[in-house]
Amino acid sequence: MTTRTALTTCPLCEATCGLELTITDDRITGVRGDRLDGFSGGFLCPKGASLGALDADPDRLTTPMVKRDGGHVAVSWAEAFEVVQRKLSAIIAEHGRDAVALYLGNPMVHSLAGGLYAGALRRALGSRNVFTASTVDQMPKHVSSGLMYGGIYTIPVPDVDRTDFLLLLGADPYTSNGSLWTAPDMPKRLKALRARGGAFVVVDPRRSRTAAAADQHVPITPGTDVFLLLAMVNELFAAGLVDLGDLAPHVNGVARVRALVEPFTPEAVAGKCGVDAATIRDLTRRFATAPRASVYGRIGTTTVDFGTVASWLVDVLNALTGNLDRPGGSMFPLPAHLAKGRGSGQGFTTGRWHSRVRGLPEVASEFPAVTLADEIETPGEGQVRALVTVAGNPALSLPNSARLEAALSTVDFMVSVDPYLNETTRHADVVLPPPPPSRRPHYDIAFLGFAVRNVAKFSPPVIPLDEGAVPEADILLRLTAILGGADPDADLDALADAQLDAALAKLVEHPKSPLHGRDVEELRSELVGDTREQRLLDLKLRTGHYGDWFGLKPDGLSMSVLLANPHGVDLGPLEPRLPEVLRTPSGRVELCPDPIAADLPRVLEALAERPDDLLLVGRRHLRSNNSWMHNVPSLVKGKELCTLLVNTADAARFGLEHGGVAQVSSRVGKIEAVVEVTDDIAGGVVSLPHGWGHDRPGTRMAVATAHPGVNVNLLTDDLRIDPLSGTAVLNGVRVHVSPAAKQ
């Protein structure tokens, strides 16, 4: 038995914590926060602490599986890829590329392989039927950023370490550890904000852990943040609090915004959102007069009826108070794998094509996930007959999941890249399992772009790949090759080199590039790394903003520098990036984009509608991670996590008892859930977490099956979306509750 320690980066959420692992032989036997990681400072949450158990989960698949006689059996990789190639190419040959749909799930953005190779997979597939978890999550923020700044990833993050006043809407970072806002140890950062005399306020229908720690908790009617934010902007103008400061020369559309928000006075919205006019005025004044302030909205502001308008208003408030792009406000990170921009560009549009069945617009080259079932169910030319899922569990994570599951069981062929046989992959004809976290490298392509400091860190695999295992990068590349028409055993090195060469060719051919005129093959030979992922990342690092440009900037960043600094490299605090970061045709921030202005009449109409009697919202738990970590015993033991939160008065009104069982019904379905009576939730609101419902046959997750919980997405409605982004309405779902009939 040999024991050693190794450093890694936790890939489980957006916080990117550094971990120090104890490794005994080929198992993780201990996990501690890495105190020398300058960014995370030793922080560790229960999910990170259970990385060893997750990594060694006996239910994790170690070989590909194919469906035979209704069950799944292990096969070799060669056989699995041969089946995939044969089936997919036949379907494409007969029905065209749109007949194959792709669903990319959340862990794709937490893996280096996904960050580097998912794009090529999408392109090789060449189908319009691409779906991702973004349209049950953050797509409204991409759309508002695309329209305002020209780039969908140009999302400002609260500069939490330097701000004086933070307004958080529909987010519970004490539990989620932040989202589109990478800041490990959020509790410590928020405490530090208060300790230096600042304040933070939480708007949430539930007294979340973050709300409980805040200076002020403002309960709100679900789905109505848009009205609160409109009234705050209205009040900024009315009270003469608008002051763009240094931002003014970079912003178009202020007068138009003023006209648009005119009807939404604090008095006009108070009844609708359940926040009184005096509180709205007070919040606005404190926000506008704080030396440095930032407003941030997350799940409770995106997965709602007016998600895009609310996401836009968040940035409008920051801009009108001069807090956009300044220290202590909301700022644009500059990660190491990217270069600076040029200050203008093509801008962003949606609806370049539309979905076949519901005619929904394409957004960021994908369709709303809510319409995947439509496209599978509806016959005709272009019908989806095959499905590729990568790191997704749509059977639990998409609205109206009963309908979706029924649709999944009808596709002609389905292949899933996933380590588990779960609610989704049980439908797959072929399952291709990636190696566990300990066997793969990590550099956070997605979330370092939303980090509150510019940092860079590469973590090599801490345990060598098991005999016969295939790295996820290779699984994705091989699928890419197959979809591109290659044999199932095509040479991946050639494919990966071609990708590197294409990227290098752009640089050597560009007259303004420092690498202009250099030799592609020679540059490729200088790339450092044991794997193709690492070498591709090296290319991005060396040609990024801080890069060494292949020796032209000897002090610059490269894979070699990151390998020599396993606790990470600090690249400094966020710096103002306007106008360089912009890609709008005007070269300015478009504060009032036309598509958003065009959605305002819908908001005004909704203002007049009567509030609903009872609305369902979601929540997250520190020990749970969407749908897929319920197979780790330490994370599910103890008190039941999947409960229906009901306010005391509502419990009396509906005849519900603490610990009893309620029946909850909506337009699309009916479930039964254990009741937790608490005044942490506002009257007229009930809450159920998502990701549960592990009671389906044909899965292989023993622990999860013993703690099934119920699937809230049997209640959420696939017909309700935010039209600008196609994002599902998962919060503010109309429901009825009653005591369940006694068994």
- Binding site residues, ligand MGD, CB under 6 A: 13, 105-107, 111, 133, 136-137, 169-173, 175-177, 179, 203-206, 208, 220, 222-223, 225, 298-300, 304, 390-394, 397, 417-420, 422, 424, 434, 472, 617-620, 622, 624-628, 690-691, 712-713, 716, 730-732
Is residue 48 at the binding interface for ligand SF4, with CB under 6 A as the rule?
A: yes
**Nearer to ligand MGD among residue 102 and residue 581 (C-beta):** 102
Residue 106 Cβ, how far from ligand MGD at the closest point, in Å?
3
Tokens of residue 461, six digits: 């695999």
Q: By C-alpha distance, which of 378, 373, 261, 351 is closest to 723?
A: 351
Residue 297 Cβ, how far from ligand MGD at the closest point, in Å?
7
Instruction: Work out what residue 208 binds among Mo ion, ligand SF4, ligand MGD, none; the CB cut-off runs from 5 to 8 Å by kind.
Output: ligand MGD
Is residue 10 at the binding interface for ligand SF4, with CB under 6 A as the rule?
A: yes
Instruction: Work out what residue 15 binds among ligand SF4, ligand MGD, Mo ion, none; the CB cut-off runs from 5 to 8 Å by kind.
Output: ligand SF4
Written as one string, the DSSP assignment of 215-245 is: SEEE---TT-HHHHHHHHHHHHHHTT----G
**Nearer to ligand SF4 among residue 221 and residue 631 (C-beta):** 631
Element (H, E) at 140: helix 139-149
State how far the Cα of 496 lies from the Cα of 639, in Å rounded to an integer: 48
State how far the Cα of 18 lies from the Cα of 568, in Å rounded to an integer: 8
**Nearer to Mo ion among residue 133 and residue 483 (C-beta):** 133
Tokens of residue 205, six digits: 């229908």
Q: Which strands make up the sheet holding 100-104, listed edge to edge?
A: 71-74, 65-68, 430-432, 413-417, 386-390, 100-104, 130-132
> Coil, helix or strand for 503?
helix
Element (H, E) at 405: helix 401-408
Instruction: Work out what residue 727 binds among Mo ion, ligand SF4, ligand MGD, none; the CB cut-off runs from 5 to 8 Å by kind.
Output: none
Q: Do residues 635 and 707 lie in contact, with contact meaning Cβ atoms separated by under 8 Å?
A: no
Strand 65-68 to 27-33 pairing = unpaired
69 Cβ contact partners less than 8 Å away, ≥ 6 residues apart = none
Strand 165-169 to 199-203 pairing = parallel
Is residue 630 at the binding interface for ligand SF4, with CB under 6 A as the rule?
A: no
**Nearer to Mo ion among residue 480 and residue 626 (C-beta):** 626
Interface residue with ligand SF4, options 7, 45, 102, 591 (CB under 6 A): 45
User: Could you tell me how many helices (H) and strands (E) the chain has, helices first?
Assistant: 27, 29
**Nearer to ligand MGD among residue 67 and residue 588 (C-beta):** 67
**Nearer to ligand MGD among residue 534 and residue 713 (C-beta):** 713
Element (H, E) at 7: strand 3-9
State how far the Cα of 397 lies from the Cα of 402, in Å rounded to an integer: 11
Residue 416 Cβ, how far from ligand MGD at the closest point, in Å?
8
> Coil, helix or strand for 385?
coil
Residue 136 Cβ, how far from Mo ion at the closest point, in Å?
7
State how far the Cα of 457 lies from the Cα of 18, in Å rounded to an integer: 9
Instruction: Work out what residue 17 binds among ligand SF4, ligand MGD, Mo ion, none; the CB cut-off runs from 5 to 8 Å by kind.
Output: ligand SF4
**Nearer to ligand MGD among residue 169 and residue 578 (C-beta):** 169
Residue 50 Cβ, how far from ligand SF4 at the closest point, in Å?
9
Q: For the window 169-198, what string marks contact with ligand SF4 as x by the rule CB under 6 A?
A: --------x------x--------------
Instruction: Work out what residue 48 binds among ligand MGD, Mo ion, ligand SF4, none; the CB cut-off runs from 5 to 8 Å by kind.
Output: ligand SF4
**Nearer to ligand MGD among residue 106 and residue 371 (C-beta):** 106
601 Cβ contact partners less than 8 Å away, ≥ 6 residues apart = none
> Coil, helix or strand for 637?
coil
Instruction: Work out what residue 627 binds among ligand SF4, Mo ion, ligand MGD, none; the CB cut-off runs from 5 to 8 Å by kind.
Output: ligand MGD
Residue 402 Cβ, how far from Mo ion at the closest point, in Å?
22
Interface residue with ligand SF4, options 7, 17, 482, 527 (CB under 6 A): 17
Residue 294 Cβ, how far from ligand SF4 at the closest point, in Å?
21
Residues in the chain: 743
Tell which phi-psi region holds residue 524, choosing left (phi > 0), alpha (psi between -120 and 50) or beta.
alpha
Instruction: Work out what residue 175 binds among Mo ion, ligand MGD, ligand SF4, none; the CB cut-off runs from 5 to 8 Å by kind.
Output: ligand MGD
Q: Do residues 737 and 614 lie in contact, with contact meaning Cβ atoms separated by under 8 Å?
A: yes
Phi–psi pair at 453, nearest 5 degrees: -135, 150
Is residue 314 at the binding interface for ligand SF4, with CB under 6 A as the rule?
A: no
Residue 48 Cβ, how far from ligand SF4 at the closest point, in Å?
2
Is residue 12 at the binding interface for ligand SF4, with CB under 6 A as the rule?
A: yes
**Nearer to ligand SF4 among residue 15 and residue 673 (C-beta):** 15
Instruction: Work out what residue 85 binds among ligand SF4, Mo ion, ligand MGD, none; the CB cut-off runs from 5 to 8 Å by kind.
Output: none
Is residue 13 at the binding interface for ligand SF4, with CB under 6 A as the rule?
A: yes
Tokens of residue 225, six digits: 């943040």
Instruction: Work out what residue 618 binds among ligand SF4, ligand MGD, Mo ion, none; the CB cut-off runs from 5 to 8 Å by kind.
Output: ligand MGD
State how far the Cα of 280 lies from the Cα of 300, in Å rounded to an integer: 18
3-state secondary structure 41-107: CCCCCHHHHCHHHHHCCCCCCCCCEEEECCEEEECCHHHHHHHHHHHHHHHHHHHCHHHEEEEECHH
**Nearer to Mo ion among residue 137 and residue 418 (C-beta):** 137
Number of residues that bind ligand SF4 (CB under 6 A): 12
Residues forming the site for Mo ion (CB under 5 A):
137
State how far the Cα of 124 lies from the Cα of 114, in Å rounded to an integer: 15
Q: In the complex, which residues of this chain contact ligand SF4 (CB under 6 A)?
A: 10, 12-13, 15-17, 44-45, 47-48, 177, 184
